[in-house]
Chain A
Amino acid sequence: MAELTPFGFVAGDSLLHRLDARFKILFLIGLSLTSVRVHFGGLAVLTLALAGVIFYCRLQLKSAYRELRYFLILLTLVFVARVLSTGGAAAISLGAMTVCVSGVTAATLVCWRLAFIVLVGLCFVATTRPVQIKAAIQWLLKPVPLVPEKKVAAMLGLIMRFIPVILNQARQTAEAQKARGIENRKNPVYRLTRLGFPILRRSFECADNLAVAMEARCFNANRTDPELSARRRDWIAAGALACLCVALLIN
């Protein structure tokens, strides 16, 4: 169960930890939107700024490395696909495939943006408690009509709680089946059904136990949420970020 959620909150006391979760969500949205609008120059500035913040706050993102490996593989695939699918004057040609300068440029830009957004998201998740994320989402949804914000937020909280349970079930079941030689079976459909059903059954059982435990402690949607309070540092950070984004977008 230990290394289950490297993608989770890491306790600390840095500036990013102390910022208001609502502001952090808005920063996340603002940075993502800006990053898809700007080009190399702007991205370089954003990336440097982010690196500066990570360094200044001494964030320990090492534990996220394992998860990020898979993301890097995905990024490579995106890069290759992008390069091969962009037309233009060929720089190198290998048989039927051509690689052109504009393709490489476009692919680099796309991958850089993706990597940047993921890194921002990682900083957000690593420095914000799930209860705070939940409270912030609830607050941001409040003015939206027809959305029962407390229920949505409670649902999100439950999902965050259950994902590790399911992942853990999947890993344990897969290991137990490997130990009994499932790898000798070559038929992927057979292997998938053999793996899928026990995982589902055990996840439901686990979720059931968890639900009983939560009920025993009086769980309901109407609970005390952590207080969110905007301080001066939140407004200063928001101002600084807004200036940076606007400056990059105008250029």
Chain B
Amino acid sequence: MNIIEIENLSHRFGDGTLGLDGIDLDIRQGSFVVIAGPNGSGKTTLLRHFNALLLPTAGCIRLAGVSTVQAPVRARRLVGMVFQDADSQIVGETVYEDVAFGPRNLRLGSGEIERQVAAALETVGLAQIGEKRPHLLSGGEKRRLAIAGVLAMQPRVIVFDEPFSSLDYPGIRQVLKQILALHRSGHTIVVTTHDLEKIIAHADRLILMQRGRVVRDGRPAKVMMEVEKFGVRQPCAVRLGQEVTPWLS
């Protein structure tokens, strides 16, 4: 089943920039998709259409059969989004409050909110520091907090916009481990990046974007041969004619 269906999607910004240009894409439930492309290729713009933060200026995007234009709030429940900049995603005074922000907006009951928040914090391994101030967390912990905030709303798709930017090695490992665990538990995962090395071994599909269009789409091993033509760095192993080894082994 396709959880996301995109038909001829275009988006023109207020100032006339064409951010997306005729995108056709279906994403299967439970798949692990990586979207790669150089700066300004439209990755973030595309992701923001998934949860109706941006609406198409032409074409349409359907989530489990329903257009995001018709049901933006449903789209935000269905698709959780972890932003490029973890700091700007923090809205609560404490770790707990931050995670509770989404469920409160959904008008869940108090008991239900408590259960969801506890479960989400447990999943990302932050249950011990629920009372800490979010701004004091490390980069990796902030990213995991953002994931918990999204999980507490029980989405079926989770999109990550550059999840590894400005993280150190342990931070990357923590976040990667989290992403893989979420995929195993049945979530559909979409990750954007311009650095394939860390994540591509785990993906089952690689999409290349350039100037607002999808230029390549297919199995990672195949698409990877051509990435350098489109301004994305090829992982070292591929250049040497080997397979990319997973970061977490």
Contact = CB atoms under 8 A, between A and B. Distances in A.
A226 B101 contact: no
A224 B131 contact: no
Contacts of B101: 214, 217, 219
Contacts of B93: 8-9, 129-131
B113 A224 contact: yes
A219 B105 contact: yes
A82 to B, nearest CB: 37
B89 interface: yes
B107 A11 contact: no
Contacts of B43: none
Which of under 10, 10 to 19, 20 to 34, or 35 or more describes the interface residues of B?
20 to 34
A218 B87 contact: no
B83 interface: yes
In the complex, the 10 A-B pairs of residues with the closest C-beta atoms, listed nearest first? A11-B131, A209-B88, A217-B102, A218-B105, A1-B135, A213-B89, A223-B104, A224-B104, A223-B105, A216-B81
B97 A131 contact: yes
B53 A218 contact: no
B130 to A, nearest CB: 9
B77 interface: yes
Nearest to B76: A218
A210 B91 contact: yes
Nearest to A4: B135
A156 interface: no
A64 B102 CA distance: 30
Interface in B97-144: 97, 101-110, 113, 131-133, 135-136
A222 B87 CA distance: 25
B53 A216 contact: yes
Contact of A213 (B88, B132, B135, B153): B88
30 contacts: A1-B87, A8-B93, A9-B93, A129-B93, A130-B93, A161-B91, A209-B85, A209-B88, A212-B53, A212-B83, A214-B91, A215-B53, A215-B76, A216-B51, A216-B81, A216-B83, A217-B101, A217-B105, A218-B73, A218-B76, A218-B106, A219-B105, A223-B105, A224-B104, A224-B106, A224-B110, A224-B113, A225-B104, A226-B110, A227-B110
